[in-house]
Homo-oligomer: A and B are copies of this chain.
């Protein structure tokens, strides 16, 4: 496609890029020596006027105003986003868990011992409570056990095939249609203001990379997540990466700042999450000198999506909700602050 570089005023161009969701141009601006000196006309069309929207636009105004005391060089404008519950729906269960369940059921006949072994038994019995009790690690164990033994390329193909056919039990749509329109606008708005946007998720990194660029405009190299170990080997003269049944890294809770430092190597200035798994990422991002933005997506809309916080199995928001108040993080009220939840509502 043709870049509008030749035409129009920079800020108007970047606003258009954000609205059109052109990750390429947005990425360009994020790396460009010339960054907007003031936030572009807010393309947060699906956000109602609210304290959370105000916190976002105020923050962008401060860090992009050249000569201002809070100005941040474009290269240092790093924003990190949790995925499950922050960018797409995590109820009635994590999407990756739905993927895992399908794989476990398909492999069960070859593993009779799973009938009496958790967390496999819970999967085969459909006991979601027992399954959730095994926690993020239990889910990662299921990913590991059911997803090792093939190459990374083969696994990516399995993920893509599943996403093309699986449907959400309530909305009856592909999971990648159950992403949050206001957050996609926010991703574009940040990129249009010179930010580099990263996903930092407890989910498997090789489960996300096949589709995050298409859906969020976040390329594979800007996705941080949990992983199992891989081994390089030559097979019939061809190099392959084999996925091993061994955990490599769990990118959750205190693991998120560790993953940010290891995989990104810069300290973010903005972080977006929705659960206690994001607490340390929000602390690491916001508890330092200079203008910082922390925002919590609070699920308050049982009618259009789901309503949950302190007492839920998936995406519990308890400690982080108290910390949000104590640390002056913005709390985005889904029911009150978002005009639409999903892109398909735009028709």
**Other-chain contact of A280, B34, B232, B261, B262 (Cβ < 8 Å):** B232
Contacts of A233 in B (CB 8 A): 254
Q: How far is the CB of A314 from chain B (nearest CB, A)?
A: 23
Question: Could you say which of A20-28, A142-150, A171-179 contacts chain B?
Answer: A20-28
**Other-chain contact of A31, B31, B152, B288 (Cβ < 8 Å):** B31
| CA distance in complex: A33, B5 (Å) | 10
Contacts of A10 in B (CB 8 A): 5
Q: Are B239 and A287 in contact (CB under 8 A)?
A: yes
For residue A256, which residue of chain B has the nearest CB? B232
CB of A284 closer than 8 Å to a CB of B = yes
Contacts of A232 in B (CB 8 A): 254-255, 257-258, 280, 284
**Other-chain contact of A33, B24, B30, B227 (Cβ < 8 Å):** B24
Residue from A196, A221, A283 with most neighbouring chain B CB atoms (10 Å): A221
Chain A interface category by residue count? 35 or more
| CA distance in complex: A283, B221 (Å) | 21
CB of A246 closer than 8 Å to a CB of B = no
For residue A2, which residue of chain B has the nearest CB? B34
Q: Are B75 and A213 in contact (CB under 8 A)?
A: yes
Decide: A239 near B283, CB < 8 A? Known: A220-B264, A262-B227. Answer: yes
Contact with B along A20-58 (1 / 0, CB 8 A): 001011011111111000000000000000000000000
| CA distance in complex: A152, B24 (Å) | 32
| CA distance in complex: A223, B258 (Å) | 16
Q: How far is the CB of A21 from chain B (nearest CB, A)?
A: 12
Q: Which of A198-247 contact B (CB under 8 A)?
A: 205-206, 209, 213, 219-223, 227, 229-234, 237-239, 241
Q: Are A263 and B266 in contact (CB under 8 A)?
A: no
Q: Are A25 and B33 in contact (CB under 8 A)?
A: yes
Contact with B along A297-309 (1 / 0, CB 8 A): 0000000000000
| CA distance in complex: A28, B10 (Å) | 14
Q: Are B1 and A33 in contact (CB under 8 A)?
A: yes
Residue from A10, A27, A74, A234 with most neighbouring chain B CB atoms (10 Å): A27
Q: Are B284 and A239 in contact (CB under 8 A)?
A: yes
| CA distance in complex: A1, B196 (Å) | 19
| CA distance in complex: A278, B237 (Å) | 17
| CA distance in complex: A5, B3 (Å) | 12
| CA distance in complex: A264, B248 (Å) | 16
Q: Are A248 and B262 in contact (CB under 8 A)?
A: yes
**Other-chain contact of A34, B3, B33, B258 (Cβ < 8 Å):** B3
A-B contact pairs, 25 of them (CB 8 A): A3-B32, A5-B32, A24-B31, A24-B74, A25-B32, A28-B32, A30-B31, A75-B219, A78-B221, A205-B262, A205-B265, A209-B265, A220-B264, A221-B222, A221-B264, A221-B265, A221-B266, A223-B265, A231-B254, A232-B258, A232-B280, A232-B284, A238-B287, A239-B284, A241-B284
Given contacts A31-B31, A220-B265, A221-B222, 14 further A-B contacts (CB under 8 A): A5-B5, A24-B74, A27-B32, A30-B31, A75-B213, A78-B221, A196-B221, A227-B262, A232-B254, A232-B257, A232-B280, A232-B284, A239-B283, A239-B287
Name the 8 nearest CB pairs between A and B, nearest first. A220-B265, A27-B31, A24-B33, A3-B34, A232-B254, A3-B33, A28-B32, A232-B257
